[in-house]
Chains A and B, each alone.
Chain A
Amino acid sequence: MKRGIFVLGILFALLPNLAFAQVSSCSQTGYTVIFVNGIFNTLPEARKNSDILQYKLGRSYNSQPVTVQLGYNQSHIGGAGDLFESYFPSWDSYDLNTILLDIYPKVTTRKLLVVGHSQGGMYANKLYEYLIGHGEPKTALGVYAVGTADSYVAGGGKYLTYNLDPVINKVRYLTDLNPLPGNIDLVDLSPDVPVEGHSFIDQYLAGAGDRIVSDIQGELSALKPDAGTSAEGCFTPPTIDGAYKVEQAILAVADPTASTIRDGAVAGYQGTKTVAIAVGTSMQKSYSSVASAIGSIKNLFSVNLGTKEQDEATFQVAKALYGSSLDTADIQAIIDGKDLGSAVMLATKPVLKKEEKAPGLVLGAHTDTASSSLPSPIKTKKKGTAFHGGTLIASESLSVSEEPAPEEEIPPMPQETASSTEATSTPPAEEATSTEPVFYVMASQSDESNLCAPNWRACYTGSDAPAQTRIDLGQGSGLGGGKIISLTIAKDENSLFKYPWVITIECWVDIAHTQPCPDWTAPSSWNGQQTSVLAEFAMPTPSDRYWTAYFTDSVHDRAFDGSSPATFNPNYYYTLLINDDGWHFGAYGSATEPYWVLTGQK
């Protein structure tokens, strides 16, 4: 008996240590500011943002301590998960609970303000709603949002969104989230910071730090230390249920794998082997494992080794549900170790809010077939360049590839193979007698024989640093009198990046391009309230060989008099700005100029 008791005693001594969160008392004095980071931050940046916010806010306000906490919004599936979350809000509950559980033991004040940046703005709202829903008084809580992806700020809090915030503008354009409109122009940005940007530090705190501090202090001063209903701590934490644990376990498997793949792709060619190894080992060379990474959170798919057909079917379901831009050929290439840039396999292809273009019209872009195959090696392509005959856009199409592509149309091309740095312009052909719209090439640089490796910046800007190139389009009178319809550029089809380019047409009063036009376009939040700018995102075609920006949105692309599409003013001068929006793409052109075709309609 004694021996039994001794054994039991030893066993109890060896019992696993159960950690109980230590909950501090909740002080009526002081403020806690929870900073929730946003989308696509690097992890050190996510941490650093809270440091800088604390620096700007100072350590006290109203003679009470102000403590910033990072409410870390984790990126799942190698960063692309954030986009998934944007499209599938059901993801929110897991991350929301994680943030709440993490901050619970650390929040020690009644007065609590949640500051969200980007996607963090959505979580800030949800944190507020959770706390209100669990007995905390509205008087003690507040929300402030910076560059928020959400359509509101909970509790009537203030927000700040830069008019030229490209991420929020993309969210506005690509999703149904309807983020709050821009409400500030940032004019004092550092010269080495892109004018268009979304960074919490580089754009928002650097460009509007005083306003943000003032807004936050205004919200802090309105808070009252009223007690809520929580028995312990400063609020009632969520309970950890079985679903939470299951999700946690799934992400623990999916995230490191996706992270490896993402890192491999970011590293470019060097990453190819890493990617192949990651897929070949961690992901067990199966389609379903990719599908699982994409769909893991829904617990719809598990990593299993079925037949290839089963795996492929599973992947297709995940693809349909989650909008992956990959197809089975992409996955097979990754599995076989033939593909690079594999991070994008987990990227979503967002659904355009814009109306589909009218069938049958080729507005400066090629029309892809539904199925696309993996691109061929670069060296085997682009030796010959074929152009449409004539300046009018004909319905016939030719392939630019040596490989047969019978189902594909190619973008409209001018006949001449211009290689000069000047834009070439061809006036519309004779007036068509038909009422059918007549599309014509307003200007182009059409030689796509040269791949700008490793990315377009290497060719067009002479270095890897600048993110954009500006092309002189000449005077409006030389561009024809038609409506501005679209601009197409040719990308390296081997690059799987899907992110849109920013295409801007700028108007100038003078030939030296120093005075912006006062009355060319209607000012709006879309163009930064400017009267001289027409801007759109160029989206990739399904074959990934071209990007096209359409200037036909009746809201974004209005002339000064409100009509749309806009036309060129024959007396003004124009430049074309092609901006890769911070993503490194491969693209085609001559050795000195990018391939692009500006299409108009008479």
Chain B
Amino acid sequence: MKTFLIKVGKIAAWTFGVLVVLFIALVIYRIPAVGQKEKAAEAVTRIHAAELTLDTVMGNRLPLPPNEEENNATVAGIDNNGNGIRDDVELAIFAKYPNSAKIRAAELQYALALQLMITEVFDKETWIAAAEMLSRGDACIGLTVPNTDLTTYLKRSKEVEDTVLNISIRKNAEDEAYNFITSYGLPNTDLCDVDLNTLSG
């Protein structure tokens, strides 16, 4: 009887040991995934925190034109004034709409969102966050034209897209980001970072 109990005990101990080892293995296996999740959460926070400021819209901290070669050497490009918008894009929008702060605000916000899409996205969660920002920016551009004027609306959003995605590495970065495309809901309120009603033009 005693021998039998010892045997049962040994089997139970082994079983428990195997389960513990398997569990530890599972936890170790999951460590990269948990790390990735934390990394994604941080990126999503960064994306949501990105916001166009009135200072940027009014050109209070306009950057100098960047060195083209340096600017085009990376996907992110040069953003010397640190407002999240590439300097060449910011300058191009100002050059095109020097007298309309409204259009500048909408296009700069859209440019900021596009920049996030090509620099911050690496999974579905980050894609959704960037896509929501893009839709807000796109919708903000829509608020600068009546909804009967689709042509002008499309022209304005496209000119920003063409400026931000101006070289192949940036287009490729967009393609990479869209590998994570999925269903998402478009924002319906708080579309513009800067209230267009307070701006001229």
B23 at the interface (CB under 8 A from A): yes
Q: How does the 8 Å CB contact mask read for B166-189 relative to A, with 1 for contact and 0 for none?
A: 000000001100110111111011
A11-B23, A44-B174 given; A50·B150 CB < 8 A? no
A69-B185, A72-B182 given; A48·B37 CB < 8 A? no
Which A residues touch B188, using CB under 8 A? Answer: 54, 59, 65-67
Number of A-B contacts (CB under 8 A): 93
Q: Which of A12-20, A438-446, A503-511 binds B?
A: A12-20
A47-B131, A47-B134 given; A106·B30 CB < 8 A? no
Chain A stretch 58-91: residues in CB contact (< 8 A) with chain B: 58-59, 65-72, 74
Evaluate contact between A16 and B174: CB separation under 8 angstroms: no
Which A residues touch B192, using CB under 8 A? Answer: none
Taking CB as reference atom, which chain A residue is nearest B33?
Answer: A16
Taking CB as reference atom, which chain A residue is nearest B171?
Answer: A44
Evaluate contact between A205 and B150: CB separation under 8 angstroms: yes
Evaluate contact between A67 and B150: CB separation under 8 angstroms: no
Which B residues touch A11, using CB under 8 A? Answer: 23-24, 27
A17-B34, A51-B135, A67-B188 given; A56·B183 CB < 8 A? no
Evaluate contact between A67 and B185: CB separation under 8 angstroms: yes
Chain B nearest Cβ from A9, distance in angstroms:
13
* B contact residues, range: 20 to 34
Chain B stretch 120-163: residues in CB contact (< 8 A) with chain A: 131, 134-135, 138-139, 142, 147-148, 150-151, 153-154
Evaluate contact between A14 and B27: CB separation under 8 angstroms: yes
Evaluate contact between B183 and A106: CB separation under 8 angstroms: yes
A43–B188 alpha-carbon span in the complex (Å)? 22
A68–B135 alpha-carbon span in the complex (Å)? 11
Chain A stretch 1-59: residues in CB contact (< 8 A) with chain B: 11, 14-17, 43-44, 46-48, 50-52, 54-56, 58-59
A11-B27, A17-B37, A47-B134 given; A55·B185 CB < 8 A? no
Interface size of A by CB at 8 A reads 40
A43–B150 alpha-carbon span in the complex (Å)? 21
B26 at the interface (CB under 8 A from A): yes
Evaluate contact between A43 and B178: CB separation under 8 angstroms: yes
Q: How does the 8 Å CB contact mask read for A197-212 relative to B, with 1 for contact and 0 for none?
A: 0000100011001100
A67–B31 alpha-carbon span in the complex (Å)? 38
A201–B139 alpha-carbon span in the complex (Å)? 15
Evaluate contact between A46 and B181: CB separation under 8 angstroms: yes
A50–B138 alpha-carbon span in the complex (Å)? 11
Evaluate contact between A201 and B154: CB separation under 8 angstroms: yes
Evaluate contact between B138 and A70: CB separation under 8 angstroms: no
Which B residues touch A17, using CB under 8 A? Answer: 34, 37
Chain B nearest Cβ from A11, distance in angstroms:
6
A225 at the interface (CB under 8 A from B): no
Which B residues touch A16, using CB under 8 A? Answer: 26-27, 30, 33-34
A190 at the interface (CB under 8 A from B): yes
Interface pairs A-B: 8 shortest CB-CB: A102-B183, A43-B178, A55-B142, A106-B185, A16-B30, A51-B138, A69-B185, A72-B183
- 12 A-B residue pairings within 8 Å (CB atoms): A16-B27, A46-B181, A47-B131, A51-B134, A52-B153, A55-B147, A55-B153, A58-B147, A67-B185, A69-B183, A71-B183, A72-B182
- With A47-B135, A71-B183 given, can you name 8 additional A-B contacts, CB distance below 8 Å? A11-B27, A16-B30, A17-B34, A43-B178, A52-B150, A70-B183, A72-B183, A102-B183
